[in-house]
Structure 1
Amino acid sequence: MEQLKHECGVAMIRLLKPLDYYEKKYGTWAYGFNKLYLMMEKQHNRGQEGAGIASVNLNNKPGTEYMFREKAEGKNAITEIFSRVTEEMKGELLMGHLRYSTTGKSGLTFVHPFLRRNNWRAKNLCLCGNFNMTNIDEVFDFLTAQGQSPRIYGDSYITLELMGHRLDREVERLYQEATAQGLTGIDITNYIDNHIEMANVLRTTMQHYDGGFVMCGLTGSGEMFSVRDPWGIRPAFYYRDDEIIALASERPVLQTTFDIDSNDVHELLPGQALIVHKNGESRLEQIMPAQKLSACSFERIYFSRGSDCDIYQERKRLGEQLTQPILKAIDGDVTHSVFSYIPNTAEVAFYGMTDGFRKLHGDVRTEKVVWKDIKLRTFITDNSERNDLAAHVYDISYGSLQAGVDNLVIIDDSIVRGTTLKESIFKILDRLHPKKIVMVSSSPQIRYPDYYGIDMARLEEFCAFRATMALIEERGMWQLVNDTYLACKRELEKPKEEMQNCVRAVYEPFTVDEINKKIVEMLRPADMQAPIELVFQSIEGLHKACPNHPGDWYFTGHYPTPGGVRLVNQAFINYVDKVTKK
């Protein structure tokens, strides 16, 4: 499995009792930070390029800091930022973020949370999120048309400025209310701090965005919020009791951190916000009308931890549903077939796959054929030698099958670019001399880019797309490419709500099996001996296994938002322009 970078993981905590309550009951002033640390470590799978935390103390006096932030880069960022936490940073509001970039931008500047400072507590805003916005150009134009001049062109920074501007307007509204009531001086400030309505801020901010997001934030006056996109693309879960309110990107994180049952954890619904007021009162508010549910299926296949009770069963079903096509690929010879998986995210689907065969044929032969070693580091700078080392990230269990007699059925959660298969896995598996290799993907062919938070933006990255283009070239069908190119250009001239994904046309002349065979031809190392067959999950099988997460645009091209449709059409135009200029 080629690592896919996913943006990102969020964690929030609101302590509902006075801070000394937790110190007396749990024996440490750092109770909240300890819980935040655990929540972030349990979501380390969601971001390893950087991490950040923020806290707000509701009772610090003027002249002392009350809003804190720490950020760091690298895989050890979580440990680094929490090593800097001191008792002075303790607060009732805590927020954490784990980052994977999807834009290619790196550096501490791009690590969340983002902080907007002001002398008025209510105007201080700290944001982080799991998101990627498809229409940041439109939002940027909206801001500049108002006279603003953002210093950085990026969805995180621009969102901070837009929401900060709306927060300023909310404060001004309350200032006018307070003065109309005859309040003066500090009484006006207290009135503002106690009456901030974050729902107003969120409604006037998030209505401008197209994309998948879970946006989280804190204000200096003590407001906490998290809002989910109206299509439900990105996930968020929360827990409430009389001591704490907590939110995370994944349900098991809350279960483990607070030792609670899955029924105690609730999912934030599409378009909904969890808002916690300064006084600790919390409520759910519908910020945007819910759209057609498009919860991301890739969260279930790969990104989220498999320890979630529902995801575990879904991944098992994904594997089990592949029994019949695998049986066909091995010509029904279960006796002379060894079943295994690519470590480690495909392990649960492997259990489902073997369960399916056991139901049909009784016992089956399973082995841990592939091992993933630690990342190899080297001082060697020669590209060919470095590539040779990279090819040995995986290793095999020698003697795990009978050479020339046994088929090897090996499952992975997805096949995206195919680079790891070509450069490493196929070569190393061939050393076992299997009669045949059946490479199984628990997800369907990935044919289209993602624009909602995963680093898959260019069509040519996908082996399924490259194989399709190769078939078009071989069969003299380049007119299809020209027609699709022109159709994409026409779509971009339409209002975004009327656009259709024209790229789907290039796949229509070909069956899944035809594309599979071409992928094998492209990825097969030149000196490999064993024959290879690919088996992919079907779209129907995907939806049967994950019925509550219908977002399948990676596989079908059915994007849930206008921004996704616009970008995929543009991606095809970019691809053709690049190819024809060579």
Structure 2
Amino acid sequence: MSDPIKHECGIVFLRLLKPLDFYKKKYGTSLYALNKMFLMMQKQVNRGQDGAGIVALKFDVPPGEQYIYRKRSVEKNAIEDIFQNIQKEYLALENKKDFNKTDWLKNNFSFLGETYLGHLRYGTYGKNNIQMCHPVVRKNNWKTKNLAVAGNFNLTNVDALLNQLVGFGQSPNQKTDTVTILEKIGHFTEEENNDLYYKYKKQGHSKKKISTLIEKNLNIKSILQESAKKWDGGYVISGLWGHGDAFVLRDPNGIRPVFYYKDQEVVVVTSERPVIQTAFNVSIEKIKEITRGSALIIKKNGKTFEEEILRKKRNKGCSFERIYFSRGNDSDIYKERKKLGKRLAKKVLESINQDTKNAVFSFIPNTAEISFYGLIESLQNNFNKKIRVEKIAIKDAKLRTFITDDKNRDGLVGHVYDITHGVVKKTDNLIVLDDSIVRGTTLKKSILKILARLRPKKIVIVSSAPQIRYPDCYGIDMAKLGKLIAFKAAISLLEKKKDGKKIKEEVYQLCKLAIKTKKEKVINHVQKIYQLFSAEEISEEVARLLKPKELECELQIVFQTIEDLHISCPNHTGDWYFTGNYPTNGGAKFVNKAFVYYIEGKNKRAY
């Protein structure tokens, strides 16, 4: 993606199923779990670089001793910062005479526990400070009321959920989906505790005995059902209670990805599948996906099972995960990205009139490489074409760190990429594959300007993703409709129409009504604008808007079709940013609100 955008967070959950001494004897270190956590968090660093956090939970700690430990960081290399601090504490104990005794180390080293929860943060809402980093903790003197939560999520109805908490008598100190989720689960945790307390009190048990009975019989399914029944959004939420029970809950549409693996020694959950394969050296067949609408529940006694929490809805797994966000070393994602490239071959040939003899093929940025392989393979094998492939643009990674202030950014951004001179002739068509085009800023201000210096006959920018026409509200940092280049193109075309102003006003009024509606099904009225134009017309207008004055040759932009996207990624049909078909009512309300904000000149998110 030539436009850098932030996106989904990453989670790592690890539960040890054997006594701690087992891992010391088998693997030769007391840091077995921490080493695994570091590896899995590091392997998902693509999912979050604004901050990180980790919680360790110790089982069966005597009263008066701490049993939940947390460390968070918003440093530039947050994962390293966290684990270096943990390691310092560990190394400071090395000279103690009982250092090699697991029980002693558990009592004296903060991060030796039975359960771990890690998080990598990409902030799409709220300030980027240490308080915004997960895991977040709700403290209480009763273990079964102590709660730590981390997740990869974005809720569209935070205001309504906050009002519900106020109705419970609470007064939340922040208006964020993180606090809302923590307090919702916390509220129903307390209700479940109270119900069990009075049940066992009636049976004549002592208060101390009641606490033990609650620990064994806390109904996790009931707590999650009550907490999540009004959530609207895409989410994977993981949490653990102080006594040892834990869960990972996925939204009913399966918008956000989550995978787990269980054997005799561990239960592990991550946002991306290859992370588990790498960390535990297990085959893909042994790793499962948490069913949408279900929670993986891990009881303190080690019993692990999936439980339906919310009724499963249509599969709307995020297709952007497949195109760009998730690491490409997942075997299925690798195949899908190659297929995305292959599906573009015919349109690419048409764009250069089949003249591959006078054509140079390349890709920008590196995340487009796998799709590029697919494109080249198809041109060579299916169309029997001899292809000239060159590395045309090289990203200067060091330069970007100096681009900080708005005033000087545009001048410097043009030099973030450098070109390879002498490989493109003036008679050549230059075809460059990008995985997606969101705002088009980097294309216009950097990539196309430097490609212009090569003076080709024609430049064709090929996107392995379809036109991004609509904003996202489920965790991707593209929430402002007016920033999207496809939307700018549609508005530009609309303004050229005789009745364009009237149509824009009609859509504006419909969107304002839709925001207030209490109907079960909300209509996305922004779709009416796109229905006036063909995909080709919008592509042509995008090319016109993005063409810098320095570029003298013809510029064409080729986008993937929606149909070919679904052929390539058949199991991830979430395509709302391309089609406007949001999987939740909150999503449809959000896009209408985003259009209202655009018309009214409000430069802010609509959620």
Looking at structure 1, the residues matched to 477 and 200 of structure 2 have their Cα atoms a distance apart, in angstroms, of 48
Q: Tell me which moved more, 392-401 or 131-140.
A: 392-401
The match for 2:502 is 479
Supply the AA of the counterpart residue of 1:126.
Answer: A
Query: Could you tell me which residue of structure 1 aligns to residue 342 of structure 2?
Result: 320
Equivalent-residue separation in structure 2 for 1:485 and 1:204 (angstroms): 36
CA gap of 1:185–1:104, structure 2 versus 1, over 3 A, is closer
Matched, 1:557 2:580: yes
Please state how far the C-alpha of 1:380 moved relative to its aligned partner: 8.6
Where structure 1 has 5 or more consecutive residues not aligned to the other structure, the ranges are none
CA RMSD of aligned residues (A): 1.5
Partner of 1:288: 310
Amino acid at match of 1:421: L
Contact 2:357/2:386, CA 8 A, preserved across alignment: no
1:96 aligned residue: 118
Task: Report the Cα distance in structure 1 between the residues aligned to 2:579 and 2:155, rounded to whole angstroms.
Answer: 21
Show CA shifts across 1:503-524 (max 9, x none): 0001111111211121111111
**In the TM superposition, what are the counterparts of 1:188-207 in structure 2 within 5 Å?**
188-207=210-229
Higher deviation after alignment, 544-553 or 466-475:
466-475
**1:343 Cα deviation after fit:** 2.2
**More displaced, 390-399 or 339-348?**
390-399
Q: Deviations for 1:307-355, whole angstroms, at most 9, x for unmatched residues?
A: 0110000000000000111111011101111111002110000000001
Aligned to 1:110: 132
5+ long unaligned stretches in structure 2: 91-108
Aligned twin of 1:448: 470
8 Å CA contact 2:429, 2:459 repeated in 1: yes
Letter in 2 for 1:480: I
Structure 1 residue 68 corresponds to structure 2 residue 59: no
More divergent stretch after superposition (19-28 vs 49-58) = 19-28
| Equivalence for 1:573 | 596
- 2:199 maps to a residue whose letter is E
CA distance in 2, matches of 1:214, 1:318: 27
Which of these residues, 334, 341, 346, is aligned with residue 356 of structure 2? 334
Cα distance in 2, alignment partners of residues 381 and 45 from structure 1: 21
Q: How does 1:40-189 map to 2 (within 5 A)?
A: 40-85=41-86, 86=90, 87-189=109-211
**SS in structure 2 at match of 1:90:** coil
Residues 78-124 of structure 1 deviation map (CA, whole Å, 9 limit, x = unaligned): 01111222433211110100000112521111111100001111110
Q: Is the 8 A contact 1:496 1:562 kept in 2?
A: no
Q: CA deviation at 1:381?
A: 7.8
User: Which residue among 488, 491, 497 is the counterpart of 1:469?
Assistant: 491
SS in 2 for 1:365: coil
SS in 2 for 1:88: coil
Q: Return the alpha-carbon distance in structure 1 between the equivalents of residues 308 and 64 of structure 2.
A: 37
Give distance in 2, aligned partners of 1:521 and 1:238: 46
Partner of 1:497, secondary structure, is coil
Q: What is the aligned partner in structure 2 of residue 373 from structure 1?
A: 396
Q: Measure, in 2, the Cα distance between the counterparts of 1:375 and 1:465.
A: 32
Task: Point out the more displaced range, 485-494 or 414-423.
Answer: 485-494
The aligned residue for residue 12 of structure 1 is 13
Q: Secondary structure at the match of 1:33?
A: helix
For 1:348-363, list aligned pairs within 5 A. Answer: 348-359=370-381, 360-363=383-386
Tell me, in whole angstroms, the C-alpha distance in 2 between the residues paired with 1:381 and 1:456: 20
Aligned length, in residue pairs: 579
Q: Which amino acid aligns with 1:485?
A: Y
Secondary structure at the aligned position of 2:322 is classed as helix
Question: Are the structure 2 counterparts of residues 557 and 382 from structure 1 closer, same or farther at C-alpha, using a change threshold of 3 Å?
Answer: closer
Q: Once structures 1 and 2 are overlaid, which stretch shifts more, 199-208 or 513-522?
A: 513-522
8 A contact 1:224–1:276 mirrored in 2 = yes
CA distance in structure 1 between the partners assigned to 2:570 and 2:411 by the alignment: 42
CA offset at residue 530 of structure 1?
2.3
Paired position in structure 1 for 2:548? 525
Contact 2:400 2:416 in 1 (8 A): no
Instruction: Name the SS for the 2:125 alignment partner.
Output: coil
Alpha-carbon distance, 1:384 to partner: 5.1
* Residue matched to 1:219: 241
SS of the residue aligned with 2:526?
helix
Residue of structure 1 in register with 2:35 after alignment: 34
Task: Tell me the SS of whatever aligns to 1:432.
Answer: coil
Taking the aligned partners of 2:402 and 2:234, their CA distance within structure 1 comes to: 40
SS state at 1:465 partner: helix
Q: For 1:407 and 1:468, how far apart are their aligned partners in 2?
A: 27
Partner Cα distance (1:392, 1:491) in 2: 44
